[in-house]
Chain A
Amino acid sequence: MSCCGQVATAGAQLLGPPSADEVVLASRDLGDGLRQSDLSVPGIHCAHCIGAIESAFRHIAGVEAARVNLSSKRVAVKWRGDTAPPIIETLRDLGYDAHLFTPEERSDPELARLIRAMAVAGFCSMNIMLLSVSVWSGAEPGTRQAFHWISAGLALPALVYSGRIFFLSAWSALKRGRTNMDVPISIGVLLAFGLSLYDTIIGGAHAYFDAAVSLIFFLLIGRVLDHLMREKARSAVQGLVRLTPRGATVIHADGARDYLPAQAIEPGMLLQVTPGERILVDGVVESGQSDIDCSLATGETQPQKVAAGDKLRSGMLNLTGALTLRAQSNVANSFLAEMTQLMEAAESSRGHYRRVADRAASYYAPVVHSLALLTLIGWLIATGDWYRSISIAIAVLIITCPCALGLAVPIVQAVAARRLFESGIMVKDGAALERLAEIDQVAFDKTGTLTLGRPRLVNEAVIDKRALGIAAALAQQSNHPLCRALSLHGDGRTHVTTDFTEVPGSGIEARIDGHFYRLGRSAWAGGGEADATVLCEDGKPIASFIFEDNLRPGAEEAVMEVRALGATPRILSGDARPIVRRLAEGLGIAEAMGAMLPKEKTDYVAGLGKALMVGDGLNDAPALARAHASMAPASAADIGRNAADFVFLHGSLTAVPFAMRIAREAKKLVGQNFALAILYNVLALPFAMAGYVTPLLAALAMSASSIVVVANALRLRGRAT
């Protein structure tokens, strides 16, 4: 039983379950003959699901243990033996769609490091704060001195263990001759600690240990939030179905068959491709006939008929007949790999986007540092007292330390990402949100993006009811996309079909109630030369069917809303020009380009400036990587999904304008947060420069400004858009 909505994976429905060989290939060896397979099961939803899955696996031979992770919607199955137990079949029987995946690494080591650093900083800052409160409320000099020493002892590990993250990042930025937000943070924290340590040694009244460490703590909260958002998106995207196979069945010269992993396939090998399987490497058909779905590779909607001698490219889907294929390349130089290279080139020419926070820091740091220097010089001239001048200059740095600035951006982006996540949109990182807010052009791919890549019968009204019923009954038995569309129009009566045969590339034939029927290409079925699908009864055509690609739900609204947001919608497609033009007219899009190669798409997107690319196919992947920002549906090819900044899980295309609105709102809030942080600095600076700042005042001012910034960011959560 499945109790919740499944993630829409249009491509997956055509694919059969991975073979047992593939399960073995994707599993990890745990030693001692124990292997672990990791599966992503998007349908897991409640306690009932956990119980059903775990108890079902308890009775399967060979399975040692199965553990469901509800948060990441994954199942880890540990098993023994040479052949894999029926893991995916078991899950399918329970009603769950499962996809194999290989975890890249156990969990993100960077995130674990950040959380540990945050825990240490939190512990130290709270204890120092506790001691500082008693110092502020007027402890005797002896107690105060002791408390300062304990604080120093607590601040040192926090600085070394937790502060390291900022120091290393600041150092690597400085080495490259640039500044980022971490430079003023590191200078402020280190000087505050140095001054406080000196004051403690000489028995001074003021120490800023609390300011230094709580600054690190607050900023680490921002970093962890930023990272959590990325991790969540990554695991959600990883969980989707893989559209490229892990291996292929090789036919050896002596006729023996072997399932080999993708890396072991060499040019010249003979491969077996069953219906429902994707092509692994480029090659030439050696024998057999079939229809090939090229939509993912080229964007064409109509399946292509292939026979011996035709070339196939990796990523295409074999629909109807069994083929043998002579490999012409290995995985490393197939069409797929070619796309990867184009993508890498595209990504490097996009250049390094500088994040808003870093750009702000490049203005902020010089101003603050020169003000501190001015304060030092001013006090030196006025008093001639070195110690006092330096103390006040450092106090200026501490009070202006960009605590609120450091939180201003990540907190808004974390809240925005959470809102998008709730609406089924994954964000790859915060920079993507910043870029999305700047978009003024939106380029849509056609097949699989504006349309679902699934044909629909459009002339149902003019077809004889009896003929439609027979055609639907025939169509039910085939995997061909047109047949799947036709089979939805059955009349509910059962037609007993006999002598069913599927002729790959042509159509299907069978007998019903003594009549002989053919359904397929007009010329083959008996309807004369015409570009249509025809049903013939005993050699006479009785119906002809016209199909059109289904529009993705929300496509029209999405285009309208995109225009309302002030962006120009365009279509870039690899499909034939007339089809693209017809769709563009239907949607009211003026700029529509058809028959584009991947390279042309990439160059076109590059020429658009701040463009958002929305696409799903292999042929879109380089353009997705090149565009200022990019978005892909969950049904996209793996490579496209990884290239895109955003992935939307629900079918509707209105996710595009929705994400744009959230991104723009987030940008506005980031701007407000910067304004608040600067306002705070302008208010606090005169006091600091005049030498009135005490550690108590610094702690209060810093916490207050951080709370204001966080509260402002949370406004994004409740807003109706």
Chain B
Amino acid sequence: MSSLVYLVPLALLLGGAALWAFLWSFKSGQYEDLDGAAQRILLDDEMER
């Protein structure tokens, strides 16, 4: 019973962190080009050369 006192807030905090992370990534435009993100992984990085 007493474990609930910190376990429940902890669970809510973790869930809240995930919610915040989603809202932040959404706002910073990370969902704007989902197809492009999948394809860009195949590109060589030319900047280093």
Contacts and interface: CB of A to CB of B under 8 A. Distances in A.
B43 A123 contact: no
Contacts of B33: 69-72
Contacts of B32: 69, 71-72, 107
Interface in B1-49: 1, 4, 8, 11-12, 15-16, 18-19, 22-23, 26, 32-36, 39-44, 46
Contacts of B4: 143, 146
B26 A112 contact: yes
A46 interface: yes
Contacts of A83: none
B12 to A, nearest CB: 6
A4 B44 CA distance: 22
Nearest to B18: A123
Contact of A50 (B1, B19, B26, B43): B43
A107 B29 CA distance: 10
Interface string A112-144: 100110011001001100110000000010110
B39 A46 contact: yes
B42 to A, nearest CB: 4
A116 B43 contact: no
A655 B15 CA distance: 46
Contacts of A47: 39-43
A526 B11 CA distance: 91
A14 B5 CA distance: 73
A50 B40 contact: yes
Contact of B11 (A51, A72, A127): A127
B19 A119 contact: yes
A150 interface: yes
Contacts of B41: 47
A154 B9 CA distance: 12
B44 to A, nearest CB: 8
Contacts of A131: 8
A107 to B, nearest CB: 7
Contacts, number: 57
Contacts of B18: 123
Nearest to A115: B26
A570 B18 CA distance: 57
Contacts of A46: 39
Main secondary structure of the interface of B (DSSP, over half): helix
A659 to B, nearest CB: 25
B35 A71 contact: yes
A68 B36 contact: yes
A55 interface: yes
Nearest to A120: B19
Given A115-B26, A116-B26, A123-B19, A150 B39 contact: no
B1 A51 contact: no
B10 to A, nearest CB: 12
Contacts of A55: 46
Contacts of A58: 46
Contacts of B36: 50, 68-71
Interface string A43-57: 000110011000100
A116 B23 contact: yes
Nearest to A107: B32
Contact of B1 (A115, A126, A143): A143
B5 to A, nearest CB: 9
Contact of A119 (B11, B22, B46): B22
Contacts of B1: 140, 142-143
A123 B15 contact: yes
Nearest to B44: A51
B15 A126 contact: yes
A462 B5 CA distance: 95
Contacts of A68: 36
B30 to A, nearest CB: 12
A69 B36 CA distance: 6
A292 B22 CA distance: 55
Contact of B34 (A71, A119, A120, A123): A71
A46 B40 CA distance: 9
A601 B32 CA distance: 41
Contacts of B15: 123, 126-127
Contacts of A51: 43-44
Which residue among B4, B12, B39, B46 has the maximum number of chain A CB atoms within 10 Å of its CB? B39
B4 to A, nearest CB: 7
Contacts of A107: 32
Contacts of B26: 112, 115-116, 119
A117 B1 CA distance: 34
Nearest to A55: B46
Given A47-B43, A50-B40, A123-B18, 15 more contacts: A50-B39, A71-B32, A71-B34, A72-B32, A72-B33, A107-B32, A116-B23, A116-B26, A119-B22, A119-B26, A120-B19, A127-B11, A130-B11, A150-B12, A154-B12
17 contacts: A50-B39, A51-B44, A55-B46, A69-B33, A70-B39, A71-B34, A71-B35, A71-B36, A107-B32, A112-B26, A116-B26, A123-B16, A127-B15, A131-B8, A140-B1, A142-B1, A150-B12
7 shortest interchain CB distances as A-B pairs: A70-B36, A47-B39, A47-B42, A123-B19, A70-B35, A69-B33, A71-B35
